[in-house]
């Protein structure tokens, strides 16, 4: 039996036809490419709610169509995306290679493919300057919020790897097309694209199988940097235009981390420093004189707002800063949830007010906001457990790197926080909950989007790609899933 579904999407009203028993989420995603399903549609995150007129709100991934309905989707949120790196970035000469001779005025695109967001830097390759920055949510979000959900999706949906690839390639082609249309540029002025991203994203970009990245021994299909013709993967720029991919070190230390570390001007950083990029994974490297150790911990999506009952990404309506006296909300609107930086502030406040016990127990839900809001925003016991797991994973990873290097946190000259989360968190709060090491706060530097900077440098300079390749050879990777000391640390660091 057929049913008519009237969908109120962010782009207008569309009518769709559904079969009896069709899944509502799948139907919505066929018509609204940006509708996200943070848990990949397995019913665990509760973030895919829609309103069915006359029926109220339903979790769309758990809803099957049995009659004609009118569905109202929530308003698309504007995400707070970090694009700039403003401290300690290296300068390179513009030397993009042979592709620069393909056009009178050659343009290139540097792309930082994050699991949550994508940042595109348009670069004039004649002068080397960034002329525009475009950001968007990663369109793969419909398959889940974190890389593990996406990897699962690749196995569960038909032609999963190809579909994940298509999402990325379509986004890139759209950005190039729109930029050319807006600026009256011929498409073939774009001659080169450089990509950085975590290992899963780079595999997705190439359409490679990602399943081996999710299971021990976590073997990637490829790790080395790549240089191919853009048309080989369906990117529409100059016929002979090329694509460059940053090298990765392991399944969980990807080209984004290598590009970020390689992009640093280290002259003022001392000899011992820690580089940390926290997202759904906590990726970190310890530079100790000539040795570079790295590891990745599965922080889980708590700091991205997923798996937290009132959690959301750092987008309009998210509480991003919190104290007893002050609450800041992204977009300065009424709060609808809380993002990672806000969560850390709340937990830090709870510790300060003695409402959170050292083992993470709370006697009742902690209300973050309710006055004047439609929904009460509160943390429950399960939320606190998620945060404990995430903070312990990062804390324990840092401890292992320090221990293996044979130095203490106090000996560090600097701690560099890369990426959006590291940029927006309150360092004092993060130290208080144990997420970051308790060192002199002056040693902390929030460096911004170093991966994006690395992408721009890789686009502008062939020499920089060589530097990333050398870094890949030099860096050591510590696999924590088989590290017994890490398991012990992880258990101990669950406490606040």
CB 337, min distance to ligand FES, A: 14
Interatomic CA distance for residues 245 and 230, integer angstroms: 11
Q: How far is the CB of 311 from ligand FES (least distance, A)?
A: 12
Minimum distance from CB of 143 to ligand FES (Å)? 10
Indicate whether 331 belongs to the interface with ligand FES (CB under 6 A). Answer: no
Using a 10 angstrom Cβ sphere, with 0-12 exposed, 13-18 middle and 19 or more buried, the burial of residue 166 is middle
Q: How far is the CB of 46 from ligand FES (least distance, A)?
A: 5
Supply φ then ψ for residue 142, to 5 degrees: -65, -20
* Binding piece for ligand FES, criterion CB under 6 A, among 40-48, 77-85, 123-131, 421-429: 40-48
Biggest alpha carbon–alpha carbon distance for the chain: 70
Nearer to ligand FES, 61 or 102 (CB): 61
Kindly tell me which residue out of 23, 31, 43, 174 binds ligand FES, with binding defined by CB under 6 A: 43
Q: Which helix (H) or strand (E) holds 389?
A: helix 381-405
Residues 51-70 that bind ligand FES (CB under 6 A): 59, 61
Please give the structure tokens belonging to residue 192. 């080169």
Quick check: helix, strand or coil at residue 97? coil
Q: Using CB under 6 A, count the residues that bind ligand FES.
A: 12
CB of 309 to ligand FES, least distance (A): 12
- Of 18, 24, 39, 390, the one binding ligand FES (CB under 6 A) is 39
| 47 belongs to the binding site for ligand FES (CB under 6 A) | yes
Tell me whether residue 52 is exposed, middle or buried, using C-beta atoms within 10 angstroms of its C-beta: 0 to 12, 13 to 18, 19 or more: middle
- CA–CA distance, 445 with 268 (Å, rounded to integer): 12
Does 45 engage in binding with ligand FES (CB under 6 A)? yes
Q: Is the peptide bond before 217 cis (omega within 30 degrees of 0)?
A: yes
3-class SS string, 301-361: HHHHCCCCCCECCCECCEEEEECCCCEEEHHHCCCCEECHHHHHHHHHHHHHCCCCCCCCC
Spatial distance between the Cα atoms of 489 and 61, rounded to a whole number of angstroms: 37
Compute φ and ψ for 30, nearest 5 degrees: -65, -25
- The piece of 34-42, 63-71, 152-160, 182-190 that touches ligand FES (CB under 6 A) is 34-42
- Kindly indicate which of the ranges 45-53, 150-158, 194-202, 374-382 contains the residues binding ligand FES, using the contact rule CB under 6 A: 45-53
Binding segment toward ligand FES, per CB under 6 A, in 16-24, 32-40, 206-214, 384-392: 32-40
Residue entry with tokens 């949906």? 157
Tokens of 251: 């399944």
Which residue, among 293, 340, 274, has the nearest Cα to 116 in the 3D structure?
A: 340
Indicate which single residue of 38, 108, 128, 241 sits in contact with ligand FES (rule: CB under 6 A).
38
Asked if 314 touches ligand FES (CB under 6 A), the answer is no
* CA 446 distance to own-chain centroid: 17
CB of 381 to ligand FES, least distance (A): 20
Q: At what angle do helices 255-262 and 199-206 cross, to 10 degrees?
A: 120
Site for ligand FES (CB under 6 A): which residue of 41, 255, 342, 437?
41
User: Which listed range, 7-15, 46-54, 179-187, 388-396, lies at the site for ligand FES (CB under 6 A)?
Assistant: 46-54
CB of 217 to ligand FES, least distance (A): 30
What's the rounded Cα separation, in Å, for the pair 224 and 420? 26
x-marked contacts with ligand FES along 73-112 as a string, rule CB under 6 A: ----------------------------------------
Q: Which two tokens stand for residue 304?
A: 């991205």
**Is 48 one of the binding residues for ligand FES (CB under 6 A)?**
yes
- Contact between 338 and ligand FES (CB under 6 A)? no
Chain residues in the site for ligand FES (CB under 6 A): 37-39, 41, 43-48, 59, 61
């Amino acid at each position: 039996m057929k049913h008519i579904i009237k969908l109120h999407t962010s782009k207008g009203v569309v009518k769709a036809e559904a079969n009896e028993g069709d899944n509502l989420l799948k139907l919505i995603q066929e018509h609204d490419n940006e509708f996200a399903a943070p848990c990949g549609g397995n019913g665990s995150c509760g973030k895919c709610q829609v309103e069915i007129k006359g029926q109220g709100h339903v979790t769309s991934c758990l809803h099957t169509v049995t009659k004609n309905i009118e569905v109202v989707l929530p308003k698309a949120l504007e995400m707070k995306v970090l694009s700039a790196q403003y401290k300690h970035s290296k300068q390179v000469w513009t030397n993009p290679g042979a592709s620069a001779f393909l056009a009178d005025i050659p343009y290139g695109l540097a792309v930082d493919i994050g699991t949550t967001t994508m940042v595109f830097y348009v670069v004039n390759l004649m002068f080397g300057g960034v002329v525009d920055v475009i950001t968007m949510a990663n369109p793969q979000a419909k398959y889940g919020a974190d890389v593990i959900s996406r990897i699962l999706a690749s196995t569960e949906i038909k032609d999963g790897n190809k579909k994940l690839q298509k999402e990325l390639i379509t986004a890139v082609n759209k950005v190039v097309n729109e930029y050319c249309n807006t600026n009256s540029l011929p498409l073939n002025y774009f001659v080169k694209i450089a990509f950085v991203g975590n290992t899963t994203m780079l595999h997705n970009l190439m359409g490679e199988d990602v399943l081996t990245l999710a299971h021990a021994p976590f073997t990637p299909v490829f790790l080395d940097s790549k240089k191919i013709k853009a048309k080989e993967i369906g990117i529409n720029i100059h016929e002979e235009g090329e694509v460059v991919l940053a090298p990765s070190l392991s399944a969980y230390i990807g080209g984004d981390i290598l590009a970020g570390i390689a992009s640093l001007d280290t002259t003022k950083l001392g000899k011992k420093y820690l580089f940390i990029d926290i997202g759904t994974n906590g990726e970190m490297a310890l530079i100790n004189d000539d040795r570079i150790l790295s590891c990745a911990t599965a922080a889980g999506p708590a700091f991205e707002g997923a798996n937290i009952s009132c959690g959301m990404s750092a987008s309009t309506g998210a509480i991003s800063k919190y104290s007893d006296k002050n609450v800041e909300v992204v977009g300065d609107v009424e709060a609808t949830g809380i993002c990672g930086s806000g969560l850390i502030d709340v937990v830090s406040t709870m510790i300060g007010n003695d409402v959170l016990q050292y083992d993470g127990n709370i006697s009742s839900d902690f209300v973050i906001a309710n006055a004047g809001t439609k929904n009460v925003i509160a943390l429950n016991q399960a939320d606190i457990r998620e945060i404990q797991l995430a903070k312990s994973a990062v804390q324990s990873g840092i401890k292992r790197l320090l221990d293996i290097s044979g130095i203490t946190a106090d000996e560090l000259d600097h701690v560099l926080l890369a990426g959006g989360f590291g940029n927006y968190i309150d360092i004092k709060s993060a130290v208080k909950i144990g997420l970051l090491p308790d060192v002199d706060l002056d040693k902390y530097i929030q460096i911004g989007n170093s991966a994006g900077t690395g992408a721009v440098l890789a686009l502008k300079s062939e020499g920089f790609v060589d530097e990333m390749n050398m870094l890949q050879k030099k860096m050591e990777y510590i696999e924590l899933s088989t590290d017994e000391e890490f398991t012990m640390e992880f258990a101990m660091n669950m406490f606040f």
